[in-house]
Amino acid sequence: MTAAVITGSGRALPATYTQDDVWEGFFAEHYAGLRSARRVFSASGVSTRHAVVNPVHEDISQWGTGARMARYVDEAMPLGKQAVAAALDSAGLAPGDVGLFSVVTCTGYATPGLDIRLASDLGMPAGVQRLLVGHMGCYAALPGLGAVGDYVVARSRPAVMLCVELTSLHVQPARHDLSQVVAHALFSDAASAVVLEPGARRGLRVAATVARTDSSTADHMTWDVTDLGFKMGLSPRVPDVLARHVGDVVQELLDTAGLQVGDVAGWAVHPGGPRILDVARDQLGLTEEQMAPSRRVLAEHGNCSSATVLLVLDELGDVDGPVVAMAFGPGLTLYATLLLPA
């Protein structure tokens, strides 16, 4: 059977700011009186982040959801266009070659959506098929990759998947709520895109995907639409839930190819936060060297929701052997994808 192979990637990042600057310039006052807030920011593992709306310069915490969604379209269009154009260029393809264009996001919505607007701006064919993967959260790139890969295999046509997340549009009013502090300390903006082609002889082929949802812990991670944007709920028990499942999920994934953990050449673990990376390391018996790409992405870019695992794959570079990509999000849901050399 023809395989779907990742042959190109691209990214676009808005303006960079440092964790210290955004704390001193905005959040220190925002969370005045909540003594643990500074500790949360310091322990986040994040040094720099990216934002289309830096709260130091523009406080949108009282904006309504409609205004935030309008801003989302304005900001997401140029970032998405840059990321997709870079991915197509690295794959050596033109917009007219694309059979399916998929957009993954949980931070903004519009109709007509980014998929229609960007396809037109980029010059994709009028008959290009489109798929929106919406509001799934941080793990959404992996089910998106699976669906797009299935199209590539079934139709023998190239496809593009774009993840574009603008979490800075959802800064919330000040509350003495540690889950909000954690979200504001971790999350960042980015657009990342990949091109998949049928039967290519270079790149990484999408070999298998495994999912696990622990619905008994559905309240541990939430992303609610409110009148003031989208609000995250985040329980400190999330790493403990992941610890119960990550080993079994990875073993099930590797069993599809007759592999063991020691056979994996590269690990692209979604850096949801330092404790989540520690859990993956400890439960899978990985080294800090193997976790380094995920920790670097967390430090340099923060948690960019669905776009992040693609940033980690880029950070891995050319890997001579199997790669496992993992991400986690609401549900509580774990996704893992096996990528093998073409």
Terminal alpha carbon distance of the chain: 13
106: CATH: 3.40.47.10
Catalytic residue flag (residue 138) = yes
CA distances from 151 to 80, 127, 148 (A): 21, 15, 5
What number is the average pLDDT over the span 214-239? 94
Q: In this model, does residue 1 exceed pLDDT 80?
A: no
The answer to whether residue 189 scores a pLDDT higher than 80 is yes
pLDDT tens-digit map of 262-289: 999 999 999 999 999 999 999 999 999 9
Q: Any idea which of 91-100, 173-182, 333-342 has the lowest mean pLDDT? A: 173-182
Based on the fold, state whether residues 218 and 117 are members of the same structural domain: no
- CA-nearest of 152, 160, 5 to 84 is 160
**Segments forming the whole domain that contains residue 175:** 4-198
Neighbours of 94 (CB within 10 A): 13
Q: Are residues 148 and 12 in the same domain?
A: yes
Q: Are residues 20 and 112 in the same domain?
A: yes
What integer pLDDT is reported at residue 177 of this predicted model? 87
Domain final residue pick, 173, 198, 223: 198
Task: Report how many domains make up the chain.
Answer: 2
Q: Under a CB-based contact definition with an 8 Å cutoff, are residues 90 and 195 in contact?
A: yes
In tens, the pLDDT along 2-17 reads: 899 999 999 999 999 9
Q: Are residues 179 and 213 in the same domain?
A: no
Considering the domain architecture, whether residues 312 and 288 belong to the same structural domain is answered as yes
For tokens 């295999």, the residue is 153
| Residue 161 scores a pLDDT above 90 | yes
Q: Are residues 67 and 194 in the same domain?
A: yes
- DSSP character string of 187-201: B-EEEEEEEEEET-S
For residues 305 and 209, state if they share a domain: yes
| Judgement on whether residues 155 and 242 belong to the same structural domain of the protein | no
